[in-house]
Structure 1
Amino acid sequence: MRRYNINSDWKFRKGDGSPAAVVTLPHIWDIRGGQNGNGGYVGVCVYEKQIEMSDDWKDRDIYLEIGAAGSVAEVVVNGQPVGTHKGGYSLFRFNITKWMRPGQCNRIEVRVDNSVRDDVYPIAADYTFFGGIYRDVNLVVADASRFSLDDDGSEGIYIIPEITGGGRGRVRVYSVVDEPEGCEVCCQVLDQDGELCAKATVKAGKEPAELFIEQPVLWNGRSGAYQYTLSADLLKNGRWMEKRMIRFGFRSIRLSAESGFQLNGERLFLRGVGRHQDREDRGWAISREDMEEDMALLKEIGANTVRLAHYQHAPYFYELCDREGLAVWAEIPFISRLSDSAAARENALLQLTELIKQNYNHPSICFWGIGNDVTMFGAEDWVEEALREMNALAKCLDPGRITVCSHMMTLAEDSPLSAITDGIGYNVYYGWYVGECSDMGVWLDELQQKQVPVPIAISEYGADGILTYQTGSPTRGDYSESYQSLYHEEMLAIIRAHPLVWASYVWNLCDFASVNRKEGGVSGRNN
C-alpha cells in the first residue's frame, strides 16, 4: 500500500458563483463570518483537482481518503458520482478505481455542504459549523489483499491488551483483511526502545493473534504514559504486502458509584477541561503546532483529563493524549436539537461507529460519550430509545471502555436517561447562568443524599471572561476576567469537597467560535 498526499493545488469555488481560487488543504471557507457573528457562506462549495494516473497503479485499487469535511461531502470522479459521506468530523474513503482513466488526467471533485439538515448531526449546537475540507486528503493505492480500507475508516486492526493472572500481559490482535485467502498476519510487539517483546503469526480472517509479555509496563496516565508498538505485516503466499505500525498501552479502567474512576486499580480524580478544535482566523483547519500548543496549555494547568467535545477530533490530538497521559472523554455530536427520523438515527449510529473504530487503539481514550444536552428541546420517549441503542452499539463495538452521556443540570436524578450509560455528566452553570457559586455545593449535597445510582461527573462548568474587562468589584454577569477568576477559585474548592464527583471539566480550554452568540459586547464567540 502507498499513500500519496494531495493537499496542494485544489481549485475552489463557492456555489454562489464567486470566482474560483487555488487553495491548499486543509481549508475552511468564510472563517471570519463563522467567528464574528455574521455567519458567512452556508451551502455547497466545490473542490476540484486533476490527478494523472501513474502506470504503477495499474491493476491496483485507488482510494480517495479525506480526513474530514464539514459536513456532507459528495465525491465525483470524471463527472461520475462515487459516493456521499454524511458527518463532518471523521475520516472516510471511497474506492474510485473504476472511474479513473489510465494514461489520462482525471478530474476529482469533492462537493462539500455545511448546510444544517435534519438527517446529519449536529443539527443545532453552541458552536460554528465551519465548511471545508479541513484535514489531509490522500490517494491510497493498494493491492486487492490488504488491511481493509472499507472498515468505516479504520486501520483494519484492533488491539486488545490486558493484564492476566500473575501480572502477565496478553495482547490479542484482530485484523480485517480484504481478500484474505492465502494471507497471513505476522505480529510483533516492540517496547519503547524498539526491542522485540513477543511475536505471533496467524492466518488472515481466522482467529486473532495472541502475544504474551512478562510484566509489561503500564500506561498510567500523567504518572507515566508507557506505550508499546504493534508491528503487523500482511503476507500473501509468502510475499510481503504491507505493514501497520500502531502504538498501544496496557491499562485497566473501572467506574463505580462507590470508588469513582480507577486507573490500574487506583482511584484517580479526573480534573480537566473541554476542548473545541478551532482557532481564531483558522477555524477547524488547524496545524499540528496548534494542537501541540493546546496540549502544552493542558499540561500547564495541571489537567489529567480532557473532554474532546462535541465530535471526533483529529487523530494527532488523540496521539498527543496517548503520549502525555491524559484520560480522554471522546464523543459524537448527538447534541441539543435532535431528530426522530430514521435517517438521523442512522447517522448518529454511523458517527459513533466511525469514532470507535477509527480510535479503538488509543490507550488515552477511556470514555465514549454518546450525547450532550439531549433534553434541551424536550425529553421525548424516543430519545431514551435512541440513547439505549447507541449505548448498546458502543458496548458491542468496544465492551472494554466506559460509556457516558452529558446531561443538562435540570435533568431529574431519577430520569431513565441517567441510568443508560455507565456514568453520566451534568453540565452545571450555577454562578453564571443561574444562582451563585455556592449553589453548586448545595446541589451536590442533595445529589449525594438522593444516592444517584450511577457515577456522576461535572462535564461542564464555567463562566465567561473577556480579558479586557477588569474590575475590583467582580459580580456575576459582568463578563470580567476578575469574576471568572473568583468563580474558578470557589468552584474548585466546592468540587474538591465532594468525592461524589469522579471527574470535572471546565468549559472551555479556550474561547471558540459560536456564530449565534452575542454576549458581553462580543459577537460570534463563546468566551
Structure 2
Amino acid sequence: MLKAKLIATLLVVLATVSPGSAQRVTRLTTGWEYVQQELGGVWEAVRPVGAGNPESVPLWEAVTLPHCFNARDAVDPSVNYYQGPGWYRTQLDVQNPYANGRTRLHFEGAGQKTDVYLYTTKVGSHVGGYDEWTVDLTQAIADFQKTPAYKEQFKGKIPLSIRCDNSRDLEMIPSNLSDFNVYGGLYRYLNLEYLPAVSVERLAVKAEVDAAGKAGSLALKASFLPTATPTMAPVPVVVRLLDPRGKQVSNYQGKLSVGAQEQDVHQFAVKNPQLWSPTRPQLYTVVVTVGTGPQAYQRREKVGFRHAEFVEKGPFKLNGQRLLLRGTHRHEDHAGVAAAMTEPMIRQEMVMMKQMGVNFIRLGHYQQSRIVLNLCDSLGILVWEEIPWCRGGLGGPVYQAQAKRMLTNMVQQHYNHPSIIIWGLGNENDWPGDFPEFDKQKIRAFMTELNDLSHQLDRSRYTAIRRCDFCKDIVDVYSPSIWAGWYRGIYTDYKEATEKEFQGVKRMLHVEWGGDSHAGRHSENPDNALAEVTASKEADERAGDASLFGGSARVSKDGDWSESYLCNLVDWHLKEQETMPWLSGTAYWPFKDFSTPVRPDNPIPYMNQKGVVERDFTPKEAFYVFQSYWTTAPMVHLYGHSWPVRWGAEGELKMVKVYSNCVEAELFVNGKSYGVKKRDSQDFPAAGLHWNVPFASGENQVRVVARQGKQTVEDHISFRYQTQKWGKPAKLTLQKVAEANGLTTVEVKLFDAEGVPCLDAANWVEFSLAGAGKLLDDLGTSSGSRKVQVYNGRAIIRLAAQPGKTAVAVQSPGLETVLLTL
C-alpha cells in the first residue's frame, strides 16, 4: 500500500510525462483493417477499398492499433504461434499546416520486418522489431495527389498499406531460440507527424554533475532533418532550461547553421542542480525553439542530473552514496494483447513495480517503448536497456549490421533519459544453435566491436552483458548466471555462489534470479524438493536445466511450483542481500509472467511463470515479500489470500507467515491473539513474523495488525482447514461459483474415490464449450487457460454464457469427463 502522498506524487508524475517528440503528432489508432497472410502484391491491399465488391478476397478485419499478430495464439495450447506476414491498411486525411513542411510516419516499433506503401509505391522499409524509425511521405503524397485515383477512388484520402513479417530468419536478431516470442505486427504506437521545413532530427542533451552534486553542466547537440540544405541561411534558436517546478533557470539565444551533421548548440553551467534519484526523480525541461512565428519548430526534452558509479570490486553509487539496486525485468507482453500494450497498461505495470519497491529495471531483451523510458524517468527507476542479440550464436554480415544498427538507434533514441545507466550488448551469447559454427573468438571479436561502438556513441554510460563467461572481461559490468534454488543448488547457496562470481570480475550486477510458480498453487511443505538437490557453489543455469524432463535433481523439475516455495526462495535472497555490502544490486526475473514458445509443458502451456504478478497484473504472493523488504509506506500481508483450503492433522501446529515492513505485528486466529512478534530481517522466514498455531477443523479466520510508530495496518484471510486424508484423484466435479460483469466463473475440483478433495493434485484439465458463449481462454493466466494444471486440486475459468444455451465440459486424462449446462 502506498501513502496518499506518494499516490498523489505518482499521479502528478504521470500527468507530466512528455514524449519529447515533434510539434504536430497524431496517433493513428483507429480506422485500420488487417489480414493475417501474404498478399499477391500491394494492389490487393489497395484494390478492395471502397469497391464494394462482395467477391473480393481476402477478408479483412477491423482492428485498433497497437495490434499484435499473436494476441491469442502465443498461448494457444494447441498450435505453434503464427510467424509470417500480415498486412494493415487505412486511409489518411493529410492536412500539413506547414509551408513546405514534411509529412512523416513515426513507428515506435513494429515486428519484425516492415514495408510501407502509399497507394502502390513502396516508401520505406525497416528490419528490427524494437527500435524507432520514420518514413517520409511528403513526395509520395504529392505524387499521388496528381493521379485520378486520389479524387475519384479515394475521395481526397491517402491509401496507406503496411506489411509486417515475423517469419523465422536465422540472419536476424533476436534468435527464435530465445525464451520469448518474436512477435509480429504494429504492436507499438504509429504516429503521423507534421514538421516544419526546418526541423531538428535529433536533439542530444547531456546532463552531468560531479559526485558531490554541486557542479552541473548541460550540453546540447542537434542535427537537422536531411531535407534542410546547408545553403539555407542560419536560423535563430532559443533554448530555455526549466527546473522541476517549471521555473526558467537559464536561457540561450543564438543561430544555427542548417545541416544534417550534428553540431553543438550550447552548454549551460548549472550550480547545485536538484538531483535525480529513485526517491526524488527531479526532472528539468529543455525547450528548444528553431525559427520564429507559425513555422517555428519546438521540442521539449526531460533531463535529470545524477552521478552513477559502479565501484570496481564494490557496490553501486548514485550521487556519491551507496545505493543497493533493487530490480526486476520487463517483457513487452500482456494477457489478451501480447506485445500490443496500450499506454494505460504500460503505466499500470510501471506503477505496480514502483509500489513493489523497485528502483532498477532491466528491459529484457530489447529496446522498449519510449513510454516505458519516460515512466522510468518520472517514477525514479534506473535502467539497463539492451539490444536483442540473444542466444543462437553469431550470424553473418547482415546479422551483425542489424545488431550494430539497433545498438546505434537505441543509444541515440534514448540518450537523454536520466534513468538509463547501462547499455546492454547481449544476453546468453554462449548459447549455440542457429548456425553450424559456434566460434567463441568470433563472438568475442564482435562483442568487442559492440562495446567500442557503445562507448563511441555514449561515453557516459556503462556497458554490460548477461551470461557469457568467455566475454565477461570485455564489458564494463558483468552479470553471471546464478539461479540458486531453482536450476542449480539450493537457495541457501545464493550468497556464497554470488561472492565467488563477484571475485572474478571488475564490476558485477546480478540480474536474473528466481523461480517459477503456478498462481493459486500452495504447499504445506514447499521445501521438500530441496532434500533431493545437492548443495553447490555452482548455481548457474546450464543447457537442459529448463526442461521438465531428465537430468539431475533440480527444483525447477522436481519441485511443486508452488507460490509457497517461491516466497521462501525470494525471502532468503532478500534477507541475504541486506548483509552483502559489496553487492551492487540484483534484478529478479521477471516482474510479470510472459509467453514463450520454448515452454509448452509448463503448468500454463507456453508461459514462463517466474513473474511475481500474473500476465494480467494479478499479484502473486511473492509480490508482497518484495514489498516487505523494499518499501517504506507501512504494509502488511498475510500469506495465503488465494489458498481456500489448508490441510493437516487435527491439532497440528501450522505456520502462518506475515510479510510486513513494520516494526512489529500481532496475529489473531479465530479471535484469539497469538502474541506480538518483532520484525528481524535475518530471522527466516518472513523476517521473524511467523507463528505456529493450531487451526480448527472447518472454517478459520486469521487477522494480523502491524504497527509502525503510531500507524497501524491490518490484513485478514479466511480459509477452510481439512483434516481428512485423500487418495488418488478418481473423479471431477464442475460447478458455477460466481457471476459478475456479464461473466460466469466455473470451477473444476478433483476428488478421490471416497469423495475427499485431493488438495495436492496437480492433474492436467482441459475446458471446452458448446453452444452460445465464449471461453475467456488463451490469456496465459491460471484462470484464463482452457488447458491448465490444477492448483491444489482445483481450477477456474471464466466465460460469457447465455442461460440455457451454453454448456461447459472439463476433461482430465484417466478421469471421466463432466458437463455443466448453464
- The two structures share one fold, judged by TM-score above 0.5: yes
Contact 2:66/2:186 (<8 A) preserved? yes
CA contact (8 A) 2:366 2:385 kept: yes
- Greater Cα shift, 14-23 or 260-269: 14-23
Q: Please give the secondary structure, in 2, of the residue aligned with 1:297.
A: helix
Aligned counterpart in structure 2 of residue 75 of structure 1, from 72, 92, 116: 116
Report how many aligned residue pairs link the two structures.
510
Under a length normalisation based on structure 2, what TM-score does the superposition of the two structures give? 0.60
CA positional deviation for 1:118:
2.1
Instruction: Report the Cα distance in structure 2 between the residues aligned to 1:298 and 1:31, rounded to whole angstroms.
Output: 23
SS at match of 1:161: strand
Q: Which of 207, 214, 228 does residue 264 from structure 2 map onto? A: 207
SS at match of 1:516: coil
Out of 317-326 and 515-524, give the one that drifted further: 515-524
**67-76 or 494-503, which moves further after superposition?**
494-503
Matched, 1:9 2:56: no
- Deviates most, 207-216 or 191-200: 207-216
Is the 2:237–2:288 contact (alpha carbons within 8 Å) kept by the matching residues of 1?
A: yes
User: Within the alignment, does 1:392 sit opposite 2:470 as a pair?
Assistant: no
User: Which has the larger displacement, 478-487 or 293-302?
Assistant: 293-302
Q: Over residues 458-482 of structure 1, what are the superposed CA-to-partner deviations in whole Å (9 max), with x where a residue is unaligned?
A: 1100110002221111133221111
User: Measured at CA, do residues 170 and 441 of structure 1 come closer, stay the same or move farther in structure 2, by a change above 3 Å?
Assistant: closer
The counterpart of 2:188, out of the listed 124, 127, 135, is: 135
Write the letter of the residue equivalent to 2:443: V
How is 1:11-26 mapped onto 2 (pairs within 5 angstroms)? 11-15=33-37, 19-26=59-66
- Structure 1, 423-432 or 384-393: larger mean CA deviation: 423-432
Q: Tell me the residue number matched to 2:283.
A: 227
Counterpart contact for 1:456–1:500, Cα < 8 Å: no
- Distance change (3 Å), C-alpha of 1:162 and 1:218: same
- CA separation in 2, counterparts of 1:370 and 1:144? 36
Deviates more, 1:479-488 or 1:372-381: 372-381
1:196-345 superposed matches below 5 A: 196-205=248-257, 206-220=263-277, 222-235=278-291, 241-345=296-400
The aligned amino acid for 1:501 is L
CA distance in 1, matches of 2:64, 2:510: 40
Determine if contact 1:470/1:482 at 8 Å carries over to the other structure.
yes
> 49, 56, 73: which one pairs with 1:33?
73
Q: Distance in 1 between matches of 2:358 and 2:35?
A: 42
Q: In structure 2, what residue type is equivalent to 1:32?
A: R
Question: Which residue of structure 2 lines up, in the alignment, with residue 524 of structure 1?
Answer: 606
Call closer, same or farther: CA 1:519–1:488 in 2, change over 3 Å. farther
Secondary structure of the 2:498 match is helix
Does the CA-based 8 Å contact 1:466-1:479 persist in structure 2? Answer: yes
Q: Structure 2 CA distance, aligned partners of 1:446 and 1:166?
A: 34
Letter aligned with residue 491 of structure 1: H
The 8 Å contact of residues 332 and 351 in structure 1, kept in 2 or not, is answered as yes
**Counterpart Cα distance in 2 of 1:442 and 1:54:** 64
What is the distance in 2 between the residues matched to 1:30 and 1:276?
Answer: 15
SS at match of 1:70: coil
Aligned-residue offset at 1:192 = 2.0
Flag the 1:94–1:166 CA change in 2: closer, same or farther, 3 A: closer
Q: Contact 2:518–2:603 (CA<8 Å) still a contact in 1?
A: no
> What residue identity is the alignment partner of 1:211?
F
CA displacement 1:85-107 (0-9 Å, x = unmatched): 11111221011222212373322
Is the Cα–Cα contact under 8 Å of residues 196 and 297 in structure 2 kept in the other structure? Answer: no
For 2:170, the aligned partner's letter is D
**What do the CA deviations read for 1:340-364 (whole angstroms, capped 9, x no partner)?**
3000001011111111111111111
Distance 1:524 1:245 in 2: 42
Match of 1:405 in 2: 465
Taking the aligned partners of 1:234 and 1:444, their CA distance within structure 2 comes to 52
Distance, in Å, in 1 between the alignment partners of 2:213 and 2:572 is 45
Q: Give how far 1:447 is off.
A: 3.2
CA distance in 1, matches of 2:294, 2:563: 63
**Residues 163, 169 of structure 1: 8 Å contact kept:** yes
Moved more, 310-319 or 293-302: 293-302
Residue aligned with 1:291, SS = helix
Structure number with the bigger relative contact order (C-alpha 8 A, sep ≥ 6) is: 1
Counterpart of 1:175 (choices 222, 225, 247) is 222
1:118 partner amino acid:
L
- Once the 2 structures are TM-superposed, how far is the Cα of residue 56 of structure 1 from its aligned partner? 4.5
How many Å separate the matches in 1 of 2:439 and 2:467? 11
Runs of 4+, deviation exceeding 4 Å? 55-58
Q: Is the 8 A contact 1:31 1:283 kept in 2?
A: yes
Mean Cα deviation higher: 509-518 or 287-296: 287-296
Unaligned runs of 5+ in 1: 149-155
Amino acid at match of 1:3: V
In structure 2, which of residues 173, 180, 186 is the aligned counterpart of residue 121 of structure 1? 173
Residue identity in the other structure for 2:205: I
Displacement of 1:255: 1.3
Deviations 1:325-374 (A, max 9, x none): 11111111111113330000010111111111111111111111111101
Which whole-Å deviations, capped at 9, do the CAs of 1:88-137 have from their partners, x for residues lacking one? 11221011222212373322111000112123210221011221101221
Higher radius of gyration, 1 or 2: 2
Q: Pick one of 485, 489, 493 that aligns with 1:431.
A: 485
Tell me which amino acid in the other structure corresponds to 2:576: I
For residue 511 of structure 1, what is the aligned residue in structure 2? 593
Taking every aligned residue pair, what percent have the same amino acid on both sides? 26
1:92 to 120, 133, 142: 133
- State the shift of 1:57 in Å: 6.3
User: How does 1:484-503 map onto structure 2 within 5 Å?
Assistant: 484-503=566-585
TM-score normalised to structure 1 length: 0.92
CA distance in 2, matches of 1:223, 1:464: 30
RMSD between superposed Cα atoms in Å? 2.1
